[in-house]
């Protein structure tokens, strides 16, 4: 037997159906489902490493943070490639980059 559906679940189902009707779609991508969930006001809860403290962070802030990390990694990779072309090892390039920062 199926269990009763609560109001929160009904709101989610209605939001999905409305989106599908508005966009004339039968199936949604996970990206679309995530945007619907965000539009409903849900946010991501992150836990610290020791799991003692929990803090809620808006999904958009988390995405910005991830974007900044990605950009930093790209910059570091570019510096490493530049250093290789100058004859430095990656470790030497990292030391040089830290000194200039």
pLDDT per residue as tens digits for the range 23-65: 999 999 999 999 999 999 999 888 777 765 555 555 455 555 5
pLDDT of residue 76: 61
Looking at the DSSP assignment, which residues form a beta bridge with residue 56?
45
pTM beyond 0.75:
no
29-38, 61-70, 84-93: range with lowest mean pLDDT: 61-70
What's the Rg (C-alpha) of the chain?
A: 22
Ordered by start, the domain boundaries in the chain are 1-42
**Tokens 């072309």 appear where?**
85
By the 8 A CB rule, do 84 and 91 touch? no
pLDDT digits (tens, 9 = 90+) for 2-16: 899 999 999 999 999
**DSSP three-state, residue 22:** helix
CB-CB contact of 23 with 16 (8 Å): no
- Joined together, the tokens standing for residue 29 give 């991508």
């Amino acid at each position: 037997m199926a269990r009763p559906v609560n109001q929160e679940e009904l709101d989610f189902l209605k939001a999905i159906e409305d989106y599908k009707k508005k966009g004339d779609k039968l199936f949604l991508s996970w990206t679309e489902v995530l945007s619907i969930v965000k539009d409903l006001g849900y946010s991501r809860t992150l836990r610290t490493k020791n799991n003692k403290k929990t803090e809620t962070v808006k999904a958009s802030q988390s995405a910005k943070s991830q974007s900044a990390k990605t950009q930093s990694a790209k910059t570091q990779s570019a510096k490493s490639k530049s250093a290789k072309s100058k004859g430095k090892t990656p470790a030497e390039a990292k030391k040089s980059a830290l000194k200039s920062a």
